[in-house]
Amino acid sequence: MSTLEIKNLHVKVKDEPEHPEILRGVNLTIRTGEIHALMGPNGNGKSTMAETIMGNPRYQVTEGDILLDGQSLLDQGVDVRARAGLFLGMQYPAEIAGVTNAEFIRAAVNARRSQDDPISIMNFLKELDQTMTTLEMPEDMADRYLNQGFSGGEKKRNEILQLMMIKPKFALLDEIDSGLDIDALRIVAKGVNAQRGPEFGSLIITHYQRLLDYIVPDFVHVMKDGEIIETGGAELAKSLEKTGYTHLKAGEADA
């Protein structure tokens, strides 16, 4: 079992040191085998948290720590964190011409293997093919340039394809459901559920209960003003769907 621990995390935007902290003391522990959902109104720090855990250089940790199996990740670059087992399914994946999807994913898979033991092309293509079938992706998406000209839904599906091929310990999924129609949502959920198991943990950021009907979380957290102000089980998401967030007040953390 692996553990991802967020301890008293305070975060600022690096280029805006004069602005207040976006995260103001977040505590959260995720173990493999668990699915956590993170909900809350827009602009309250959910994406910042995911990006900071992944190591986006835009953000600066001013206090606290991020630990993977007891080892701090703060001094590690984004690629090291990825190889250590973290994955971030992004809200706005970058488009890169000149690099095919298949070539990129193979490079990502090989980045986790020793240099003299790359995955055989046959095995890789077979697995890629199967995974794309699971996600109902047309074959030609393997040979298209990475996210180039993909629709919003295709990009999200492509994030899940990478997740399934890379098989991280922990997947942070940032609004993986936004802009998806109901069929695409079902397919994306199918992909995430296929990863569920004792070796996989996930933090799913979403605004909508709808996604959580398909991926039933073990824990639901609500973030407001840069803090987690409430934690519960799957039923919390259902009640929030009815009541909204406004009745929840920011916690008195650090007070």
Partner 1 sequence: MRELPSTPKIALARALKKAPAAAVPVGVTADAAVTRTFGLQVAPQDGLEDWLQGAGQTGVTLTVPAGYQGEPVFIQGPAEGSGLVHVVVAPGATVTLQDSWQGRGEHLAIGVWLEVGEDATVNWLTYDALAAESAVALRKATLAAGASLNWTVAGFSHNSGASLITCDLVGEGARATVNVGVLASGSQHLGYTTRMTNYGRKTGGHINQRGVITGAAHLIFNGIGHIVQGAQGADNQQENRVLMLAQEARGDANPILLIDENDVTAGHAASVTRIDQAQLYYLMSRGLSKALASRLVIRGFLEAGLAEIKDPQLKQTLFDTIDETLVNADA
Binding residues for partner 1, rule: CB under 8 A, are: 54-57, 77-79, 82-83, 87-88, 90, 93-99, 104, 107-108, 111-112, 145, 162, 166
Q: How far is the CB of 72 from partner 1 (least distance, A)?
A: 19
**Phi and psi angles of residue 221, each rounded to the nearest 5 degrees, phi first:** -120, 145
Comparing CB distances to partner 1, the nearer of 17 and 57 is: 57
Per residue, what are the HEC states of 168-217? CCEEEEECCCCCCCHHHHHHHHHHHHHHCECCEEEEEECCCHHHHHHCCC
Comparing CB distances to partner 1, the nearer of 124 and 245 is: 124
Comparing CB distances to partner 1, the nearer of 103 and 241 is: 103
Q: How far is the CB of 97 from partner 1 (least distance, A)?
A: 4
For the chain, the C-alpha Rg in angstroms (whole number) is 18
Residues 89 and 129: their CA atoms lie apart, in Å, by: 20
Q: How far is the CB of 129 from partner 1 (least distance, A)?
A: 20
- Considering only the C-alpha atoms of the chain, give the largest distance between any 2 of them, rounded to a whole number of Å: 58
Comparing CB distances to partner 1, the nearer of 94 and 255 is: 94
What's the token pair of residue 49? 């948290």
Q: How far is the CB of 49 from partner 1 (least distance, A)?
A: 15
Provide the pairing of β-strand 96-100 with 86-89. unpaired
Residue 60 bridge partners (DSSP): 12
H/E element, 31: strand 23-31
Q: How far is the CB of 88 from partner 1 (least distance, A)?
A: 5
What's the token pair of residue 76? 């590690």
Comparing CB distances to partner 1, the nearer of 97 and 255 is: 97
